[in-house]
């Protein structure tokens, strides 16, 4: 079985982009003068979930997929 998944370096590029987009959303919320405490808690929870997410291999099929803990 050949592994046609993208290389590890290429797959690792997606996480910084997602974190950067969440940071932009945080700045937009601050500029719109919304409920700051609620928005800060929401964005921090999203960041923690993305950090814990990581590509892994299943033992049976060997295909890579995302697991959100």
Locate the domains of the chain by residue range: 8-67
- Residue 31: the pLDDT is 57
| Residue 31 CA: distances (Å) to CA of 11, 16, 34, 35 | 32, 23, 8, 11
Predicted structure pTM score: 0.16
Stretch 48-69: mean pLDDT: 53
Q: Could you give the 3-state DSSP secondary structure of residue 29?
A: helix
Q: What is the pLDDT of residues 4-52, one digit of tens each?
A: 555 554 455 555 545 545 555 555 555 555 555 555 566 555 555 555 5
Q: What is the pLDDT of residues 2-12, one digit of tens each?
A: 555 555 544 55
- Round to whole Å and give the CA distance between 68 and 46: 11
């Amino acid at each position: 079985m050949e592994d046609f998944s993208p290389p590890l370096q290429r797959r690792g590029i997606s996480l910084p982009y997602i974190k950067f987009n969440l940071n932009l959303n945080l700045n937009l919320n601050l500029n719109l003068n919304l409920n700051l405490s609620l928005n800060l808690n929401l964005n921090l929870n999203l960041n923690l979930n993305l950090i814990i997410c990581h590509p892994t291999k299943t033992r049976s099929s060997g295909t890579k997929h995302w697991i959100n803990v």
